[in-house]
Structure formats: C-alpha cells, structure tokens
Chain A
Amino acid sequence: DAGVTQSPTHLIKTRGQQVTLRCSPKSGHDTVSWYQQALGQGPQFIFQYYEEEERQRGNFPDRFSGHQFPNYSSELNVNALLLGDSALYLCASSLGLEQPQHFGDGTRLSIL
C-alpha cells in the first residue's frame, strides 16, 4: 500500500523563477493538503483540495496556487520565487471526515 509520494525530492531555483511540485495521495485518499515547513519551524498550512476544488486556504499570497486532478493527485505552483520561499513543502492526504492526514517526505526547495 503506497503512502503519499512527492516529487521531486530536492529542487534548486533562483529568485523570480516559477516551480511546480507534485503529490500523489495515499491509495484510497481523496483530499490533499499542502504545508510549508521553514527550517526549525512547524509546518504552516497553505491550502487544501477536495473534488478538484480549493476548499481551504492559509495565509499565503496568490503566488501560491494549486490544482487537483481527477485521480486525486495534486500540484503546488509557486510563481515569482523569493528567497523566503526556501523550505520543505509537505503534502498530506486523507479520506473523508473521520480519517487523519498522512504526510509524504516532502520536497526540499532552495532558492538562490
């Protein structure tokens, strides 16, 4: 039973560029959430997708956008990258209202 998988594992970009991160949820899960974890901090909620729509959003600018596909996989897009966007980006998936969120190993994004 595959867990949550994320790609790529590491990524290096420069300021002003755009990036796309990908996530495949755990088998059977239909909801995907994205979190940003800065070094030494707890994860911060970015947004959540269910039925291909953004259902909840945290305190992140519009430079952060996402998408969910019919197979429940998801992408996180970040435009006009800033140095402060350097972080570990975590994807979590869940099923329904009674199941907790399970996390992938994340994508480490470094901005030069």
Chain B
Amino acid sequence: GEDVEQSLFLSVREGDSSVINCTYTDSSSTYLYWYKQEPGAGLQLLTYIFSNMDMKQDQRLTVLLNKKDKHLSLRIADTQTGDSAIYFCAESWDTGRRALTFGSGTRLQVQP
C-alpha cells in the first residue's frame, strides 16, 4: 500500500537552511513532489523529481531522493519569513493523470 510520512513541525531562524524530510513506502512510485500551503490557500507546486534522479536543484530549493531508504528531503537555503507555511510531500505513479498521495504536512516556522 501507499503511505507518506512527515514530521509535524520545524522551526528555524531567518537566513538559516531548512530541511524537511519525508518517507514513503510505495516502491513503485515514479514521481515525488513538494507542495507549499499558506494559511487559507490552496497548494502551490514547488518542485518535483523523477524516481530515476538523485537530486534536483531549483534556485533556493534542493530535493534529495534516496530510493534505497525511500527517503525524500527538501532543503530551503537562506530561509525567509515568507517561507513559513505547511509543506506537503506527495507521490504518484506518473505526473498528470494519476492520483497524488500526500503526507500530513510539515509546518515550517521561520523566526526573525
């Protein structure tokens, strides 16, 4: 079956790096995603990675994938107060036309 797990809360100081972790159990997952949700809003796609990749970097965001341990992480460099939000990890078997399975989300609090 599919299950995605995340830690509930992370607090960092402005300017530090944040690392949000996620584990998944479905070895057949093909794509893994990170979404951001601010209060009262929907989900904003931050980045995604194919399962045949180990790393993907996009400006301040770095995604690392360890397929052996089924572990995904999102690193945010130079974290800003505007990065405060809930971050969701999600998996699917392909991109557009397959259901996404989400974790429960990690609340990131950035202290000035």
Known: A31-B97, A97-B97. A42 touches B42 (CB 8 A): no
Partner of A42 from the list B31, B48, B88 (CB cut-off 8 Å) is B88
Interface segment, A11-19, A61-69, A71-79, A98-106? A98-106
Instruction: Check B42 against A106 for contact (C-beta < 8 Å).
Output: yes
Interface range, A side: 20 to 34
Complex CA–CA separation, A75 to B90 (angstroms):
24
Instruction: Check A100 against B41 for contact (C-beta < 8 Å).
Output: no
How far does the Cβ of A53 sit from chain B's closest Cβ, in whole Å?
A: 12
Q: B96 at the A/B interface (Cβ < 8 Å)?
A: yes
Instruction: Check B43 against A90 for contact (C-beta < 8 Å).
Output: yes
Instruction: Check A95 against B96 for contact (C-beta < 8 Å).
Output: yes
How far does the Cβ of A105 sit from chain B's closest Cβ, in whole Å?
A: 4
Additional 15 contacts, C-beta under 8 A, given A94-B97, A98-B96: A40-B104, A41-B104, A42-B102, A42-B104, A42-B105, A43-B43, A43-B102, A45-B101, A48-B97, A56-B98, A56-B99, A97-B97, A100-B48, A101-B45, A103-B44
B interface vs A, CB < 8 Å? 4, 31, 33, 35, 40-45, 48, 88, 90, 94-105
Q: Can you list 5 A-B pairs with a CB-CB distance of less than 8 A?
A: A94-B95, A94-B96, A96-B97, A97-B97, A98-B96
